[in-house]
Amino acid sequence: MKLATLKLSDGTRAVRIDEDSAVEIPGYANVGELLAAADWSTAVDGAAGPSHPLADIMDDQWAAVIPRPGKIVCVGLNYRNHILEMGRELPEFPTLFAKFPEALIGPFDDIDLSTVSDQVDWEGELALIIGTTARKVGVDTAASHIAGFAVLNDVTMRDYQYRTPQWLQGKTFEGTTPLGPFLVSPDEVPADARLRTLVNGEVVQDVPLEDLVFDPATLVAYISEIITLNPGDVIATGTPGGVGHARKPARYLAAGDVLETRIDGVGAQRNVAGRQGE
């Protein structure tokens, strides 16, 4: 199963992605709204709305797959190679922080390079999306609450992130975080899937998803101990090694740079770094 949110002339629509077309799911403006319905999987299977050939869909028609999630919970330091490159020890518990929906953009939208930061970094990530309510669930059942996975890049303003011990201010700048284009069901993600991030065609991150310290089920179980996870909530599972801030010398995004984020079986994004209004 593969879902997306499309921007059409009369608004947005949740769609099911078939082999060569996107089929509208009547009654649902986006995938987040769809997941909030108790019978959402039935609605997906029975979708019979207008069909749009994939070849005719323009890049700017793909919206963030979940445009306004109730929660975006992010996990820091969750790949072994990234923890080591940052000079830290493997954590006993997940490091959590939040991101707000205003940060989200479509998978092919321009990243808004804020004029107040000159240390804009990339963080390619696997995002998981909740499909059914999870509260204090065990690791053995947590995976059943996951609707699917999506590509996300947690673009980060490092100078703002490290102004204080709290990371939020560097992590949630408006118009910086691409999500999508698809929500892909767990059964479609290869066991040997890799995450890759490219800047101007150069591979800067390349790691198997199995390098995660805390896997998706563990994260759902842990976070659900703290707060109820609702359908459409997003968990960004962390980034691997290869971020610009850890390089010597450090490297950051500049206007005109092309950032690509790919995960085998999940999807690919392409975002140009630019300043708002340019």
Residues 35 and 86 in one domain: no
Section 183-192 average pLDDT: 97
- For the chain, the C-alpha Rg in angstroms (whole number) is 18
Distance in angstroms (rounded) separating the CA atoms of residues 236 and 51: 31
What is the residue-averaged pLDDT of the chain? 95
Q: What band does 278 get if pLDDT is binned at 50, 70 and 90?
A: very low
**CATH code of residue 8:** 2.30.30
pLDDT tens readout for residues 129-180: 999 999 999 999 999 999 999 999 999 999 999 999 999 999 999 999 999 9
Q: What band does 235 get if pLDDT is binned at 50, 70 and 90?
A: very high
pLDDT on residue 229: 98
pLDDT on residue 18: 97
pLDDT tens readout for residues 93-127: 999 999 999 999 999 999 999 779 999 999 999 99
Residues 214 and 264 in one domain: yes
pLDDT tens readout for residues 236-249: 999 999 999 999 99
CB atoms within 10 A of CB 71: 18
pLDDT on residue 141: 98
Nearest to 94 by CA among 78, 71, 73, 79: 78
The residue with tokens 């999807």 is 267
Distance in angstroms (rounded) separating the CA atoms of residues 146 and 137: 12
pLDDT on residue 276: 53
**The two structure tokens encoding residue 186:** 């767990």
Instruction: Specify the range with the lowest mean pLDDT, choosing from 10-24, 33-47, 84-98, 171-185.
Output: 84-98
Domain-terminating residue out of 34, 63, 92 = 63
Nearest to 10 by CA among 55, 61, 46, 47: 61
Domain-terminating residue out of 44, 63, 82 = 63
Q: How many structural domains is the chain composed of?
A: 2
Distance in angstroms (rounded) separating the CA atoms of residues 167 and 176: 15
Residues 178 and 111 in one domain: yes
Residues 146 and 265 in one domain: yes
Q: Provide the 3-class DSSP secondary structure of residue 57.
A: coil
What domain range is 155 assigned to? Answer: 66-274
pLDDT higher than 70, residue 60: yes
Model pTM above 0.85: yes
Residues 183 and 59 in one domain: no
pLDDT higher than 80, residue 87: no
Dihedral over alpha carbons 15, 271, 173, 87 (to 10 degrees): 110
pLDDT higher than 50, residue 195: yes
Section 54-77 average pLDDT: 97
The percent of residues above 90 in pLDDT, for the chain, comes to 91
Residues 53 and 77 in one domain: no
pLDDT higher than 90, residue 199: yes
Residues 106 and 15 in one domain: no
Section 178-206 average pLDDT: 98
Residues 57 and 172 in one domain: no
Domain-terminating residue out of 23, 42, 63 = 63
Residues 135 and 219 in one domain: yes
Residues 173 and 207 in one domain: yes
* 49 CA to centre of own chain: 27
Dihedral over alpha carbons 117, 273, 3, 237 (to 10 degrees): -40
Nearest to 100 by CA among 18, 173, 6: 173
